[in-house]
Each structure stands twice: as structure tokens, then as C-alpha cells.
């Protein structure tokens, strides 16, 4: 099943995978299917509503589905750690929209996305369901991931241009 | 006797209509769009999100527009709005070590792995007005691109560079202690002494000007904590939550964060050798001034924990935490402009009566007075 493709192969989130800080590794092991789902959900959460809607209408317009939980706007309290690694504290909230849908065969898709776009959350839940059902949107996800990676890389190159190159002047008294 | 006074309704309605007209300004000037505010006044947006304690760039931009650019009024609007929303979850602690770096500098180590990344900064500008921005029409040249992107992994200065010698104290509670409850001042009343979790939450949403002044006071001698900036980083971090219906953590998107860690001298005590101590600042958006100030005040407020003598207001957690919130402060300061006719009538009566009594006493005993 294409949905089982390991997320490391794609570029979009690879950074979060490699850059593990040894300190915070208390997370339980997750299976490959869950890892794949986490990955596509993270890509969908970063994709704007129009892109999702266009692709859905063009490819899945005939898919039958029902709303399980209508899109709802709420908040997540974002937590930080003192010193980056110490005691937890509540930093402040962020807006989040969630939605759940059911396909005709009973597959349930969920979405939690940053911001207040109900339609984006609904499409993200639909794509989650389609991916769970048969991984049909894998190439779409890979495509999105690649685009996100390119944007990120281009930006990171602009940031890299502001890196300081120190050079030391040789002074007479040191010979 | 309480006398109800009515009659302001029409005046209030008309005042609000006038306000709307003034907000719009001269209609020959194009109306400002909220996405222009979101994009082009992004540091105002960052402040409103931080102190409004709600990360949502669009809402912050709307609040700024509605408040005519009065940022504290905008923060008030955001605070009011957030009370209308349900809270779905607490995030897992964000991992600033995995930040997509947009700026990262250290004032303590010059040659650090990953390098000094200046990013979009006002530092080293000459603070001369740029009249081309007023002349309205020059699109800036595209930013330069490096051959390679910035490093994915940037070690944390305090943990990865300074800590290997044990020269800096560890954060007292690390990931091992994650079952401990986390204080939340938006849901429970604040009591003192306050834990560091509560103090950091209070500082993160505290008024930038107030935190700045208090941080400044620690540098000027009203707390014994000479600080260096170990590291400042600004960039995007992913937020993860673990919804019950899924049972595993998912990434819901990125937020912009500024983080500052200060390194402070500590002379040591009878049981501890001299070592460096830490202050921590973390805020939404790009706001270095606030993050540095927060770290200074966080360190100052750790006086009790370090067994230091309290010698300045920045070390007094009750003073700081009770005065840092600009919505609370503005509410109490500004409420005295609202009608206090009856209170004041009472005061007026009292002062008149006291004066009368004093006059009466003076007249009834003229001989004693003369004899004195």
C-alpha cells in the first residue's frame, strides 16, 4: 500500500526527523502506518485551502462522505520549556480548526490545522480519510511535500546569506 | 442615596460613529487592508499576538486595524476574543532546538557550530529615515541567496557548548518530570510564591514596555545579575498535539517564535561551586527586545531559588507579576475616567463638612487660640 511509504523518503519533513535532540527522546515507538499518517497530516496542515479544494474537486468529487464532526474553531495552549529543556510552562494559545469526516465505507478522517479556516480543515480531513482508505492521494501528498521543501530551502538559502564570515586581522606584534 | 443617571445613549452611539469615521481617515487615501497590516506591520502583529496571548496573525492584524493602531487596545480585543473559543488541547512542549532558523546569534561565542545568522534585523542599520519608503514605489531587490541553506541542526549554546564542562547549571526540572501539573493563570487564580512555570507564562504575555524597563533595572544595579546573551534564535517551530481520538501526536502547523537564553554570573555558595546561571525568554513572533527583557526578569525573579538578597523590584515576583499585564493595568488606570459622579459627590460632602467643623472649632475657642 502506498500509504505505508516511510516518510523519510520525502523531503518536506526530513529535518524534523534527523535533528533529534537526544534529551527529549521519551516518545514511544510508533508503527510505520502511524508514522505515514502523521507525515501526511503534517503536510495537509500546511497546505492552503484552495490547493486542497482544487485537487479534491478534480479527482474525488464523486467520493461519498458525511460530516462526523463539523469544522470547529478552537484553541491549543502552546507549551514551552524553561531553558528549552527544563520545566514546562504555558506560553500562550493559538487558533486551531478541527474536523472529522466519514467516507461511505466507514473510514474516518480527522484534521487539526493551525488557524481558522474551516474549509481547509474539512478538506484535510477528507484527504486523511482517502489516504487511510487506500493511499490514493499519495502522489498529491508527495507533490505538496516537495513544494513545501522547495519553499523552505529557498528561504533557508536567503537566511544563509546573512551568516557572518569572521576573519581575523593579523597584527604586527604576533609576528 | 443612589441617583441613576440616564441620557448618554445617543451621545455614545454618535461617538462610536465618529470613531469609525476617524478610524477610516481621509477617504481619498486608500483603506488599509488587514493583510497589508499582517504582512507589512508584522512586528506590531507579533506584539499583539504575544501579549494578547493568541497566535493568529490575521486576527492580530484585524485587531490593530480596529484599534486604529493602538496596540494595547488591540491586545485587549484579542484577549476578549480568545475567551469565546474552546480549548481543544495543550501542545507538547515546542522543541526550539529543532527550529527552522531565521536568525540565530550568540554574544558569548563567536565561532559556534551553525554560525552567527543575522537574519532580518534592524541591528547595524544607521537609524536614518529612508525617504524612498515614503516616495512609494520602489520594490526592494530580492534578498541575496547563499549557495547552501542554513544548517538543519544548530546546537544550543547553553546546553551543548557551555554545559559540557558543568559551568552552567542544569535546568532544574527536565523531561523526567513531565507528570507535574503546569500552572495556568488563565484558568486558576495566581498565588504567591509562584513557580517558575507561572512566572514565565506571566512574563510571556506581559507588557513589552514594562518587562523592558524591569529588565533594564536589573542591568542598572537593582538586582545582582550581570547578564550575557548566550543565544537568541528566531524562526519557525512545529506545534504538536495528541488528540484523544487519534492516540498519537500530530503536527498541526508552524508558529514563529523568538527565544533568548541569558548567561548570568553566580558566585557560588557554601554548597555550590561558582557557575553560570540562566534566564529564559520565549515569545510569539519576532520580538527580540521582549525575549531578552523576559530572560533578564526571569533570572532576577529566581533570586529566592538561588538564595540571593532581594534588592530590587525586578526580583520581587509579586510586584512584577501583579503589574506586568497591560490589559489589567489599563483597565484599572483608565477606569478612573469613567463617571464617578456619586463617589465624588460623597468626597465633596466630606471635605465640606470637615472644613465647616474646623471653622466652627476655631470660632468657638478664640481665647485659647489667642493665649497660645
pLDDT in tens, B43-67: 999 999 999 999 999 999 999 999 9
C-alpha cell at B134: 515614503
- Asked if residue B131 belongs to a domain, the reply is no
Is B304 a member of any domain?
yes
Q: How many folded domains does chain B comprise?
A: 2
Asked if B73 and B101 sit in the same domain, the reply is no
B81–A contact, CB cutoff 8 A: no
* Entry field: residues in chain B: 372
Whole domain around residue B325: which residue ranges? 96-125+149-330
**How is residue A31 written as a grid cell?**
508503527
pLDDT at A12: 39
**Band (B140; pLDDT cuts 50, 70, 90):** confident
Residue A173 binned pLDDT confidence (cut-offs 50, 70, 90): low
Same domain flag for B70 and B191: no
State mean pLDDT over B330-354.
Answer: 91
**B40 and B103 assigned to the same domain:** no
pLDDT confidence band for B93 (50 / 70 / 90)? very high
Inside any domain, residue B28: yes
State the residue for C-alpha cell 476617524: B22
* Residue position matching grid coordinates 486551531: A96
B186 contacts in chain A (CB < 8 Å): 90
Whether residue A159 and residue B92 make contact (CB cut-off 8 A), yes or no, is no
Could A112 and B252 be called an inter-chain contact, meaning their C-beta atoms sit closer than 8 Å?
Answer: yes
B233 interface with A at CB cutoff 8 Å:
no
CA distances from A75 to B45, B85, B178 (A): 18, 7, 22
Query: Considering CB atoms only, which of A15, A72, A94 is closest to B54?
Result: A94
Contact B159 A94 (CB under 8 A): no
**Contact A66/B at CB under 8 A:** no
Do B153 and B280 belong together in one domain? yes
What grid cell was written down for B163? Answer: 554545559
Q: Three-state DSSP class for B151?
A: coil
Q: Is A161 on the interface with B (CB under 8 A)?
A: yes
For residues B243-247, give the mean pLDDT.
Answer: 93
pLDDT band at B177 (very low <50, low <70, confident <90, very high): low
Specify the DSSP class assigned to residue B110. S
Q: Is B69 part of any domain?
A: yes
- Same domain assignment for residues B37 and B156: no
Say if residue B66 is in the same domain as residue B168: no
Q: Rounded to the nearest 10 degrees, what angle do helices B57-66 and B71-82 cross at? A: 130
Q: Are B156 and B304 in the same domain?
A: yes
In a domain, B64, yes or no: yes
Whether B132 is covered by a domain: the verdict is no
Select from A87, A92, A166 the Cβ nearest to the Cβ of B173: A87
Residues contacting residue B213 through CB under 8 Å, at least 6 positions apart: none
Each residue of A29-45: b (16+ CB within 10 Å) or e?
eeeeeebbbbbbbbbbb
B37 and B177 belong to one structural domain: no
Domain boundary, last residue among B310, B330, B350: B330
Predicted confidence band of residue A7 (pLDDT cuts 50, 70, 90): very low
Q: Are residues B47 and B193 in the same domain?
A: no
Same domain, B78 and B49: yes
* Per-window interface: B 130-189 vs A, CB < 8 A: 143-150, 152-153, 156, 158-159, 170-175, 177-178, 180, 182-186
> What's the confidence (pLDDT) of residue A16?
40
In this structure, are B22 and B105 located in the same domain?
no
What does the mean pLDDT of chain B come to? 90
B159 and B49 belong to one structural domain: no
Sequence-ordered list of residues with C-beta below 8 angstroms from that of B86, at least 6 positions apart, any chain? A72, A74, A75
Measured CA to CA, the distance from residue B20 to residue B235 in angstroms comes to 37
pLDDT score, position B369: 52
Closest Cα to residue A163, out of B106, B230, B97? B106
- DSSP run (H or E) holding A113: strand A108-114
Q: Lowest mean pLDDT of B110-119, B247-256, B270-279, name the range.
A: B270-279
Amino acid at each position: 500500500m502506498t500509504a505505508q511509504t516511510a516518510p523519510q523518503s520525502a523531503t518536506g519533513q526530513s529535518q524534523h526527523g534527523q535533528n533529534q535532540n537526544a534529551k527529549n527522546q521519551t516518545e514511544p515507538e510508533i508503527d510505520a502506518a502511524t508514522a505515514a499518517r502523521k507525515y501526511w497530516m503534517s503536510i495537509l496542515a500546511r497546505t492552503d485551502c484552495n490547493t486542497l479544494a482544487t485537487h479534491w474537486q478534480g479527482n474525488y468529487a464523486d467520493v461519498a462522505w458525511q460530516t462526523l464532526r463539523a469544522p470547529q474553531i478552537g484553541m491549543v495552549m502552546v507549551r514551552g520549556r524553561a531553558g528549552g529543556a527544563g520545566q514546562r510552562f504555558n506560553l500562550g494559545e493559538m487558533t486551531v480548526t478541527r474536523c472529522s469526516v466519514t467516507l461511505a465505507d466507514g473510514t474516518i478522517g480527522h484534521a487539526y490545522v493551525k488557524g481558522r479556516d474551516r474549509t481547509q480543515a474539512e478538506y484535510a480531513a477528507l484527504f486523511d480519510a482517502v489516504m487511510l482508505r487506500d493511499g490514493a492521494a499519495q502522489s498529491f501528498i508527495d507533490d505538496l511535500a516537495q513544494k513545501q521543501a522547495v519553499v523552505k530551502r529557498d528561504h533557508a538559502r536567503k537566511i544563509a546569506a546573512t551568516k557572518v564570515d569572521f576573519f581575523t586581522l593579523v597584527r604586527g606584534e604576533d609576528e | 442615596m443612589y441617583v441613576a443617571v440616564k441620557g448618554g445613549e445617543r451621545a455614545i452611539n454618535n461617538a462610536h460613529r465618529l470613531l469609525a469615521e476617524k478610524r477610516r481617515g481621509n477617504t481619498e487615501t486608500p483603506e488599509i487592508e488587514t493583510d497589508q497590516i499582517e504582512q507589512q506591520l508584522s512586528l506590531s502583529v507579533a506584539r499583539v499576538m504575544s501579549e494578547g496571548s493568541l497566535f493568529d496573525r490575521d486576527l492580530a492584524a484585524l485587531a490593530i486595524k480596529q484599534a486604529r493602531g493602538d496596540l494595547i487596545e488591540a491586545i485587549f480585543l484579542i484577549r476578549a476574543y480568545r475567551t469565546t473559543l474552546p480549548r481543544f488541547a495543550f501542545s507538547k512542549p515546542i522543541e526550539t532546538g529543532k527550529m527552522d532558523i531565521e536568525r540565530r546569534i550568540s554574544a558569548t561565542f563567536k565561532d559556534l557550530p551553525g554560525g552567527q545568522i543575522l537574519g532580518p534585523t534592524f541591528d547595524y542599520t544607521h537609524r536614518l529615515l529612508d525617504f524612498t519608503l515614503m516616495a512609494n514605489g520602489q520594490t526592494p531587490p530580492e534578498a541575496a541567496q547563499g549557495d547552501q541553506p542554513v544548517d538543519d541542526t544548530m546546537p544550543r549554546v547553553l546546553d551543548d557548548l557551555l554545559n559540557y564542562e558543568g559551568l552552567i547549571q542544569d535546568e532544574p526540572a527536565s523531561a523526567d518530570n513531565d507528570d507535574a501539573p503546569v500552572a495556568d493563570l488563565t484558568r486558576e487564580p495566581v498565588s504567591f510564591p509562584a513557580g517558575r512555570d507561572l512566572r514565565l507564562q506571566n512574563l510571556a504575555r506581559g507588557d513589552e514596555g514594562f518587562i523592558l524597563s524591569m529588565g533594564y533595572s536589573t542591568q542598572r544595579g537593582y538586582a545582582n545579575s550581570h547578564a550575557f546573551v548566550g543565544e537568541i534564535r528566531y524562526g519557525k517551530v512545529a506545534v504538536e498535539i495528541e488528540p484523544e481520538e487519534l492516540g498519537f501526536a500530530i503536527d498541526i502547523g508552524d508558529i514563529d517564535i523568538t527565544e533568548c537564553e541569558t548567561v548570568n554570573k553566580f558566585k557560588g555558595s557554601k554548597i555550590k561551586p561558582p557557575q553560570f546561571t540562566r534566564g529564559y525568554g520565549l515569545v510569539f513572533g519576532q520580538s527580540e527586545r521582549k525575549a531578552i527583557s523576559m530572560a533578564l526578569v526571569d533570572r532576577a525573579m529566581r533570586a529566592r531559588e538561588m538564595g540571593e538578597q532581594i534588592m530590587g523590584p525586578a526580583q520581587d515576583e509579586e510586584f512584577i507579576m501583579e503589574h506586568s499585564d497591560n490589559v489589567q493595568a489599563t483597565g484599572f488606570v483608565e477606569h478612573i475616567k469613567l463617571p464617578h459622579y456619586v463617589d465624588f459627590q460623597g468626597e465633596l460632602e466630606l471635605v465640606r463638612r470637615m472644613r465647616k467643623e474646623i471653622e466652627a472649632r476655631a470660632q468657638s475657642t478664640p481665647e485659647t487660640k489667642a493665649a497660645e
